[in-house]
Every structure is written in C-alpha cells, then in structure tokens.
C-alpha cells in the first residue's frame, strides 16, 4: 500500500494537538493577563523555560516568574548641606567701674595735751610725738589752709620767762610737724605763757604743785579743713 506524504504530515500535526489531552494537562484559553496557562493556572512554558504569550500580552505585562524582574534604579542620594556653624559672639566683659573720687568731709582737727612737755622743758615727750604723728597722717589726706599751734606754760616762775618757754614749746611742735612732711608755710605758732591756766591747785607746794600744774604745760594744734575719705561704695 502506498502512503501519501501529505496524509502523513496531517496525521503528525493532529497527534501533536492531542498530546496535551493524552497527558492529562488540558490547555486553557488565553489568560486575561496575556499568558497561556494550564488547568491549574500555571503558565505553560517552552522547553527553554520561557512562558507562552497570548495575543493580549503587551510589553510590561508580568505573570508568576515569566518575565525578568524589572531593574529598579536606586534614587540618587539626596545631598543635604550641613548648616554653617553658628559662631556665637563672645560674652561682653564687664568693666570694673572706676573707684569713686574721695569724698571731702569738713572736720576740725584739734590736739590738746598736757603730756607734750615736762616741767620747765621745751622738749616733746614720747606721748606728744605719738599724738603729732597721728595728726600728720590725717593732715596728709586733708584739704586745709592753716595749721595753728598755741603753747602754754604754768605759773611757776617769772611771767616773762614763762612766755619765752611757751614760745619755745610752740616752735618745738612746729619743727616736729615740718619734719613729718607738713608744709611750713601753712603753720603758724605762738606761745601765751601762763595767761590761760586750766589748773588752780590752791595750797599746793613743791613737787605736788608741779604735778598739779601739769595741765598748764600743754599745747593745742588746730586745723579746720576737709578730710578726704574713700567712699564706702568702693570697699
């Protein structure tokens, strides 16, 4: 028997179409997503592993793992500029206020002591020098025009002698203050002898009279001026 070659080709094509049915895996119609699937919904693949596309497939369609995953480019890193460093102005330095000017205070200075001199002497006693030292320190910070010295003598002896003695005592006080830095042109001195007694001593004689008249062997130093004192605000 002779076989027609065209009949053989047709028969082969028919067998290819029946193969899926004979294998128990019927072919479904096109999926709505553009891929050919079997009865289980799995994509039908070629021997190369690629999925079969239907006519409705379009570029960009995806189903299961049929298409390679799209390459997603990572976004370019966002460059954030760091803020400029904040430069703080230096804290203001508190200036120390200047010390206030000395405040003048008007005050009279008067040193009156019977311990300046011994009997019949014009030499200053230590107690008298100490008193004049203190006076010189105060006058160094004082505004004054004149310094007045008045010296005395007791009534023992002639009046003329006592006058001269009181003048020598006034000079002794004056010279001592000049040696302590007091301006000589501002000092005036005088002796009044026995004319201004302060002690009476009635009935006293000899050494007891000499001791009783000690207050009359005195001197007074007086200056009226403005003492310069530092204000309490600066302490």
**Domain boundaries, given as residue ranges, for the chain:** 1-54, 103-234
Cα separations (Å) of 62 from 48, 57, 70, 71, 154?
18, 9, 10, 14, 141
Which residues of the chain carry a pLDDT beneath 70? 1-33, 69-74, 77, 79-80, 82, 89, 99-109, 227-235
- Buried b / exposed e over 78-98, threshold 16 CB at 10 Å, is eeeeeeeeeeeeeeeeeeeee
Q: What is the C-alpha separation between 212 and 199, in angstroms, rounded?
A: 7
- Buried b / exposed e over 32-52, threshold 16 CB at 10 Å, is ebbbbbeeeeebeeeeeeebe
Cβ proximity of 70 and 95 under 8 Å: no
Mind listing the pLDDT tens digit for each residue in 2-33? 445 444 444 444 444 444 444 444 444 445 46
> Residue with structure tokens 């204000």?
231
Q: Where are the beta strands (DSSP E) in 34-141?
A: 36-38, 103-113
Q: What is the pLDDT of residue 108?
A: 65
CATH topology of domain 103-234: 60s Ribosomal Protein L30; Chain: A; (3.30.1330)
Total-model pTM:
0.51
Q: What is the pLDDT of residue 13?
A: 42
Enclosing H/E stretch for 16: helix 5-22
């Amino acid at each position: 028997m002779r076989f027609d070659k065209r009949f053989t080709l047709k028969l082969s094509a028919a067998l290819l179409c029946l193969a899926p049915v004979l294998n128990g895996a019927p072919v479904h119609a096109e999926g709505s997503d553009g891929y050919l699937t079997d009865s289980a919904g799995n994509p039908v693949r070629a021997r190369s592993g690629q999925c079969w596309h239907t006519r409705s497939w379009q570029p960009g369609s995806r189903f299961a793992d049929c298409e390679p995953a799209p390459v997603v480019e990572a976004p370019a890193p966002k460059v954030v500029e760091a803020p400029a460093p904040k430069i703080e102005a230096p804290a203001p330095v508190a200036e120390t206020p200047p010390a206030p000017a000395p405040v003048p205070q008007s005050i009279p200075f008067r040193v009156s002591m019977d311990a300046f001199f011994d009997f019949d002497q014009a030499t200053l006693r230590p107690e008298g020098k100490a008193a004049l030292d203190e006076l010189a320190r105060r006058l160094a910070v004082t505004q004054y025009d004149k310094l007045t010295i008045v010296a005395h003598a007791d009534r023992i002896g002639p009046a003329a002698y006592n006058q001269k003695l009181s003048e020598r005592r006034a000079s002794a006080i004056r010279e001592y203050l000049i040696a302590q830095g007091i301006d000589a042109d501002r000092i005036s001195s005088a002796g009044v002898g026995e004319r201004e007694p302060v002690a009476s001593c009635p009935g006293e004689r000899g050494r007891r009279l000499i001791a009783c008249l000690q207050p009359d062997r005195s001197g007074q130093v007086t200056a009226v001026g403005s003492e310069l004192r530092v204000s309490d605000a600066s302490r």
